[in-house]
Amino acid sequence: MGVVTNLSTDQSALLALKAHITSDPLNNLKNNWSTTTTASAVCHWIGVICTTRHHRVAALVLSHMGLTGTIPPHIGNLSFLVQLDIYNNSFYGYLPQEMTRLRRLKHIAAGDNNFGGPIPSWLGEISQLEFLDFGNNSFTGEIPREMGNLNRLELLDLSKAGLSGHIPSSIFNVSSLIFLALPENKFVGVIPDEIGELPKINVLILNFNHLSGSVPTTLFNSSTIQRISIVSNRLTGNLPSGQYLSLPNLKRLLLGINTLTGTIPSIITNASQLTELDLVDNKFSGSISNSIASLTLLKFLNLGNNLFSKESSSPELEFITSLTNCKYLTELLINDNPLNGILPISIGNLSGSLERFAAGNSRIMGNIPHEIGNLSNLISLVLSGNSLTGFIPESLERLQKLQLLDVACALEYLHHGYSTPVLHLDLKPSNVLLDEDMVARVSDFGIAKFLGDDENAAHTKTLATLGYMAPEYGSEGLASTKCDVYSFGIMLMETFTRTSPTDAKFIGDFSLKRWVEESLPNNIIQVADTNLLRPEEEDYSVKVQCVSSIMELALNCSTVSPEERINMKDVLASLKKIRHTFLTNCGEI
């Protein structure tokens, strides 16, 4: 006869958990989980959710609370528990085997903690489990083969969990599995063929392990897979090919940093839903086929550092012309390949959303087409290490977004890299030029000044350009490093709104700065360049947040009082942080 439990049993279990917590920096449990309350009050404790019918603890949601401690065996007494969410805390030690008594448990989110030791084999006994996240912990050893007994499991995330050994084939017997993430561990051996036979699998992430062998043919014949990511392993051989293979729902194929060979098989160019294709740092060869144009939804294409060549029928890189059919393309990276061709004038017809184009060290010849200046949203352009001739097109001056980070680096060096600070004092888009490597250079130091050893500012009668000039410089002739910071802030606003500070709509007190200021924090899309923010794009919310952060930075650069402006060291650090946030949240790093 089983032990009878009730809400008092749940209360005792929770108070035992509280007693095992050594740090509660937000005082969530200290101030709320009281030993003096009646059992009925448990359902109103922070992080506790009870069932409506039985008034028993069904969910424990303690994520992001900064808690430190261990999980006591008493947790096994929460017999009605369905969800255990302790994500992003500092729990450590071992998980208690008493958790096997939690027969209703479906959801365990314990990622971002400090749990150690082997992953317990008894987890395979929690038969109702559907969601298991142990990512970013300090486990040791292998994945227990008993995990294959979890025949209702839909999500398994063991990212960066400290694991090693072979991936047990039993995992691939879990036919309910939809999401499988095992990156940043030390797994070895080949990827089992059974991996492609999971009937519901949507996402497979195996990045940054030591997996070897070839990509299983079965994986390239899945009707459900949407993301395949096996970056930075030791894969070899050709990619699977064959007329009977199909990837109808694949959106992201990331196989960079391996030793894969051969050509790009037609199964990839036939994957009509593909938005990201990353084959960088392999040994692929052959021509880049014009059939890549069939990937009309493509946003990110990285074929860099391989052995690709152009099709031999024409001196031009014809595949670039075919890519004009990809209207959502934001990044095109084909650097470090023996392409041996010339850039077609059709490069100017590439997607208006294109932000990065890299073709350095690719044996490209001829002139840079004037039409490249049509790519109005280009931020990074790399053509160095080629055999280009002629002049750099004047049309590149229109690309104001190009390498703003380089401008910040230059100003940071001028202000803080010398023992005597250098003031530019006339920073504006027309004074930012591009060298032969397409790196942005700050130019025209005609009214620049040095600050003396004991000077924070200097007086001057030479005025800079209206619209970009700091208030104290215009009214008092008072020049300091903060004047350049102000101008850089205005440049940031101009670049991301595509509106000049001298635009005719800015009259009286209504300025570019005020226009941007009034748009924050909730209406940034009203002022941002419409080519930057498109609601239909997958990463729209990430872009909105990053543009908002840039605008806030621009306003911090352009405060009326120079004392309240940040310095270029902090500006550069903020820009790098925003860039890292963007790349991380868009899955590019």
| Calpha distance 154→88 (Å, rounded) | 21
| CATH number of the domain within which 483 lies | 1.10.510.10
Summarize pLDDT for 499-510 with one digit per residue, the tens. 888 888 888 888
Q: What is the 3-state secondary structure (H, E, C) of 439-455?
A: CEEECCCCCCEECCCCC
Q: Examine the pLDDT at 203 and tell me if it is beyond 90.
A: yes
| Calpha distance 19→35 (Å, rounded) | 11
Q: Examine the pLDDT at 2 and tell me if it is beyond 50.
A: no
Type of residue found at 226: Q
> Taking the CB of residue 140, how many other CB atoms lie within 10 A of it?
12
State residue 333's pLDDT score. 93
State residue 34's pLDDT score. 84
Summarize pLDDT for 415-431 with one digit per residue, the tens. 565 556 665 566 666 65
State residue 31's pLDDT score. 87
pTM for this model (two decimals) = 0.72
Confirm whether 514 is domain-assigned.
yes
Confirm whether 458 is domain-assigned.
yes
Summarize pLDDT for 128-149 with one digit per residue, the tens. 999 999 999 999 999 999 999 9
DSSP 8-state class, residue 221: G
| Calpha distance 584→581 (Å, rounded) | 5
Q: Which two tokens stand for residue 163?
A: 């694991």
Q: Averaged over 187-214, what is the pLDDT?
A: 94
State residue 397's pLDDT score. 57
Q: What is the 3-state secondary structure (H, E, C) of 233-270?
A: CEEEEECCCCCCCCCCCCCEEECCCCEEEECCCHHHHC
Report helix, strand and coil shares of the chain as percent, to nearest 5: 30, 20, 50
Q: Do residues 413 and 555 both lie within one domain?
A: yes
State residue 184's pLDDT score. 94
Q: Averaged over 358-371, what is the pLDDT?
A: 89
Query: Which residue, of 343, 371, 399, is where some domain finishes?
Result: 399
Q: Do residues 291 and 420 both lie within one domain?
A: no
| Calpha distance 143→145 (Å, rounded) | 6
| pLDDT cut 90: percent of the chain above it | 52
Q: Which two tokens stand for residue 437?
A: 């490597």
Q: Which two tokens stand for residue 142?
A: 């292998």
Confirm whether 216 is domain-assigned.
no
State residue 418's pLDDT score. 52
What is the domain count for the chain? Answer: 2
Nearest to 109 by CA among 77, 82, 139: 82
State residue 416's pLDDT score. 60
512-519 and 540-557 helices, crossing angle to 10° = 130
Calculate the average pLDDT of the chain: 85
State residue 438's pLDDT score. 46
Q: Which residues pair with 501 in a beta bridge?
A: none
Q: Which two tokens stand for residue 159?
A: 């990212």
Confirm whether 461 is domain-assigned.
yes
Residue partners of 322: CB distance under 8 A and separation at least 6: 290, 291, 292, 293
Q: Examine the pLDDT at 460 and tell me if it is beyond 80.
A: no
**412-416 — which CB contacts under 8 Å span 24+ positions?**
412/568, 412/569, 412/571, 412/572, 414/442, 414/484, 415/481, 415/484, 415/567, 415/568, 415/569, 416/567, 416/568, 416/569
Confirm whether 38 is domain-assigned.
no
Give the DSSP letter string of 413-441: HHHHSSSS-EE-----GGGEEE-TT--EE
| CATH number of the domain within which 319 lies | 3.80.10.10
Q: Do residues 465 and 488 both lie within one domain?
A: yes
| Calpha distance 520→522 (Å, rounded) | 5
Q: Do residues 421 and 559 both lie within one domain?
A: yes
Q: Do residues 444 and 479 both lie within one domain?
A: yes
Q: Do residues 434 and 575 both lie within one domain?
A: yes
Q: Is 2 exposed, middle or buried (0-12, 13-18, 19+ CB in 10 A)?
A: exposed
Q: Do residues 370 and 417 both lie within one domain?
A: no
Nearest to 148 by CA among 133, 129, 162, 134: 129
Confirm whether 87 is domain-assigned.
no
Q: Do residues 374 and 432 both lie within one domain?
A: no
Nearest to 13 by CA among 69, 81, 83: 81
Distances (CA, A) of 324 to 148, 189, 401: 46, 41, 21
State residue 336's pLDDT score. 92
Q: Averaged over 367-396, what is the pLDDT?
A: 79
The secondary element (H helix, E strand) that includes residue 91 is strand 90-93
Contact 105, 126 (CB under 8 A): yes
Query: Which residue, of 399, 416, 445, is where some domain finishes?
Result: 399
Q: Which residues pair with 115 in a beta bridge?
A: 93
| Calpha distance 336→382 (Å, rounded) | 11
Give the chain's count of helices (H) and strands (E): 9, 35
Give the DSSP letter string of 106-174: -EEE--SSEEEEEPPGGGGG-TT--EEE--SSEEESPPPGGGGG-TT--EEE-TT---EEEPPGGGGG-
Summarize pLDDT for 279-323 with one digit per residue, the tens. 999 999 999 988 998 999 999 999 999 999 987 778 999 999 999
State residue 451's pLDDT score. 52
Higher per-residue confidence, 586 vs 384: 384
Q: Examine the pLDDT at 413 and tell me if it is beyond 80.
A: no
Summarize pLDDT for 231-269 with one digit per residue, the tens. 999 999 999 998 888 999 999 999 999 999 999 999 998
Higher per-residue confidence, 420 vs 554: 554
93-127: buried (b, 16+ CB within 10 Å) or exposed (e) per residue?
Answer: eebbebbbbbeebbbbbbbbbebeeebbeebbbbe
Range of the domain at 368: 283-399
Residue partners of 563: CB distance under 8 A and separation at least 6: none
The secondary element (H helix, E strand) that includes residue 527 is none
402-422: buried (b, 16+ CB within 10 Å) or exposed (e) per residue?
Answer: bbbbbbbbbbbebbeeeeebb
Confirm whether 533 is domain-assigned.
yes
Q: Do residues 572 and 489 both lie within one domain?
A: yes
Contact 368, 393 (CB under 8 A): yes
Q: Which two tokens stand for residue 317?
A: 């890189």
Region of residue 439 (left: phi > 0; alpha: psi -120 to 50; beta: else): beta
Higher per-residue confidence, 162 vs 573: 162
User: Cα 139 vs. chain centroid, distance in angstroms?
Assistant: 26
Q: Do residues 338 and 382 both lie within one domain?
A: yes
Residue partners of 127: CB distance under 8 A and separation at least 6: 103, 149, 150, 151, 152
State residue 105's pLDDT score. 97
| Calpha distance 228→90 (Å, rounded) | 31
Q: Examine the pLDDT at 47 and tell me if it is beyond 90.
A: yes
| Calpha distance 15→508 (Å, rounded) | 64
Summarize pLDDT for 161-181 with one digit per residue, the tens. 999 999 999 999 999 999 999
Q: Do residues 374 and 506 both lie within one domain?
A: no
Place of tokens 């010339």: 342
Q: Do residues 508 and 539 both lie within one domain?
A: yes
Confirm whether 354 is domain-assigned.
yes
Q: Which two tokens stand for residue 370?
A: 């004037």
State residue 414's pLDDT score. 56
Residue 437: which pLDDT band, with cuts at 50, 70 and 90? very low
Query: Which residue, of 345, 375, 399, is where some domain finishes?
Result: 399
